Amino acid sequence: MKIFSMLYEKVMSWAKHSHAEYYLSGLSFAESSFFPIPPDVMLMPMALATPNRAWFFALITTLASVLGGILGYMIGMFAYELVQPLLEGQWSEYYHITQKWFNEWGFWAIFIAGFSPIPYKVFTITAGILSMSFIPFIIASGIGRGGRFFLVAGLMRWGGKSMEQMLKKYIDIIGWLVIILAIIFYLLLR
């Protein structure tokens, strides 16, 4: 099934759109507080499409993600009742792991969250619920998310056209492997 090839072509066309930077900012902001799709799905093709702007795209993604994280923090701090059904339902396993990580590692939990497969919004909301110190939260968010996004942009820039050709060729295999790994990870967490 060539589902991922079609999606890849669509995302590449979005990445070249004149408003792509705004879409990337909006997606990055939303993902840190409530939206399920990570910004990497736009950052990667944008960095591939225009490698000379990869660092700028990583910066946009990082800043918008940290701002969205602040919204997530505020949701956790002031609107717990609003998200409680999600945290105790659909996200309960992630929520309990996140709480455990905060108890064990404190500040570093947010830094690790930048690279974790657990949705970042669960970390930002949990940080607000647990009343994590705000300035360390922002610093850890910036370092963790920035580390991730600059790494992704750097890999795409470094890979350039050869990376794009390889992705085109193997995108369906990569897509299905990611889904299988996500299912395995989910089952292991259960």
Render pLDDT for 15-43 as a digit per residue (tens, 0 to 9): 778 888 998 999 899 999 887 778 888 89
123 membership: H or E segment, kind and range? helix 120-129
Distance CA(65)–CA(119), nearest Å, equals: 12
Torsion, Cα 7 12 18 21, to 10 degrees, reads 90
Per-residue tokens: 8: 């890849």
- How high is the mean pLDDT in each 10-residue block of the chain (190 residues)? 71 78 92 84 85 94 96 95 88 88 88 83 93 94 94 88 73 75 71
3-state secondary structure of 9: helix
| CB count in 10 Å sphere of residue 157 | 19
- pLDDT confidence of residue 13: 75
156 neighbors 149 (Cβ within 8 angstroms): no
Distance CA(89)–CA(150), nearest Å, equals: 33
Sorted by sequence, the CB contacts under 8 Å of residue 42 that are 6+ apart come out as: 11, 14, 15, 20, 23, 24, 27
- pLDDT confidence of residue 15: 74
- pLDDT confidence of residue 1: 60
Distance CA(8)–CA(3), nearest Å, equals: 9
Per-residue tokens: 38: 């990570």
pTM higher than 0.85: no
Q: What are the domain boundaries of the chain?
A: 3-189
